[in-house]
Amino acid sequence: MQRICVIGGSRYFGKLLVERLRAAGHQVTVINRGSTPPPTGVEHLIVDRDDEAALTAALDARTFDVVVDQVCYTPVQAAIAARAFSGRTRRYVMTSTIEVYDPATAALPTVPPGTPVPEENVDPAGWQVAMDLPWHDDAYLETHYAEGKRQAEAVLAHAGDLAFASVRSAHVLGGGALEFTGRLAHYAEHIVRGEEITVHAKALPTVFIHYEELADLLSWATTADFTGPVNACSDGPLDVHGLAEAFAARARREAVYRTVSAGEEASPFSFDRHYAMSNARAKALGFSFSRTTDWLPDAVAEALAVSAAPTA
């Protein structure tokens, strides 16, 4: 049994992570702002993680074997967490994102299309941090999401008394109504209605992961001893056409496409640049991934069912 603190953990794969950690016999504490209570048997600390004094006071004398940070988006948040948990935990796992590799958001080493992007393409130990940027501005953060994650990783990588690991998640799918981003709903609704799916002329493949698999990997990361970033994606890249056709086949409709130029906005998961990740490091460390084609049909069926359900 371990003492594990989860920051966030109120919805989607974070909620499932908390449930699985508890079911595995761990002593779990959840920190969030109180909008969603955790499962029975899980300690709940209601506090705003951005308020350092309140966070430190809420933690009191608690210590943990591992902290899993599901909602760290900026270097400011990372610095607060590093100070608040200094001396309170030996291991800190941050949920990060495939977006750190997006070449449209930073000057990154070029990786030829078709070559899976390895973790070393973004090294948090060498990434520059700028605390004075307007990280508290929601609009700024929304447009600088990838950079916020990169800099948050960098801050925690330099927190000397923490064994830091980041889990860089692929695009997360599955769960029907639990998938709150609306990206699969976009396909379900457009395919059923015969509406256009907008795609780039040279749409490149990306990688995905099922929300249950990501919860499993994060749970595994709490007991593993690796440090640094690790990519989390199912085997088998998929492009926007493959995703749309999976919906079309299930709905027995024909996908209708409209092509847009490079740089223009398109349907979710249509990318005109390459940053599909490699999961080789996680495999070498002992984690086994499913194939995207194993779970995608069920995820598509769930999304179509939710789309067809009558609204209250």
Half-sphere exposure of 264 (CA within 13 A, CB side): 13
DSSP conformational letter for 291: B
Position 308 scores a pLDDT of: 75
Residue 14 neighbours by CB distance under 10 Å: 24
List strand residue ranges (DSSP E) for 174-300, in order. Answer: 196-200, 208-210, 228-232, 256-260
pLDDT digits over 62-104, tens only? Answer: 999 999 999 999 999 999 999 999 999 999 999 999 999 999 9
Does residue 311 have a pLDDT over 70? no
Longest dimension (CA), the chain: 60
End-to-end CA distance of the chain: 43
Enter the tokens of residue 34. Answer: 């109180």
Confidence of residue 216 (pLDDT cuts 50, 70, 90): very high
pLDDT digits over 173-213, tens only? Answer: 998 778 788 899 999 999 999 999 999 999 999 999 999 99
Mark out the alpha helices in 182-239 (DSSP H runs).
183-193, 211-223
Position 187 scores a pLDDT of: 94
The superfamily CATH assigns to domain 3-308 is: NAD(P)-binding Rossmann-like Domain (3.40.50.720)
- What's the mean per-residue pLDDT of the chain? 94
Position 291 scores a pLDDT of: 97
Enumerate residues 6+ apart whose C-beta is below 8 A from 40: none
Position 177 scores a pLDDT of: 75
Q: E strand or H helix at 91, and its extent?
A: strand 89-97
Over range 233-243, report the average pLDDT.
96
- Domain ranges in the chain are 3-308
Does residue 246 have a pLDDT over 90? yes
Q: Per DSSP, what are the bridge partners of residue 94? A: 69, 166
Enter the tokens of residue 30. Answer: 């959840």
Over range 156-160, report the average pLDDT.
93
Position 91 scores a pLDDT of: 97
Confidence of residue 117 (pLDDT cuts 50, 70, 90): very high
Distance of CA 205 to the CA centre of its chain: 18
Does residue 280 have a pLDDT over 60? yes
pLDDT digits over 248-278, tens only? Answer: 999 999 999 999 988 888 999 999 999 999 9
Position 264 scores a pLDDT of: 86
Position 309 scores a pLDDT of: 67
- Compute φ and ψ for 229, nearest 5 degrees: -80, 150
Position 232 scores a pLDDT of: 98
Position 11 scores a pLDDT of: 79
Position 10 scores a pLDDT of: 78
Does residue 107 have a pLDDT over 90? yes
Length in residues, the chain: 312
Position 114 scores a pLDDT of: 87
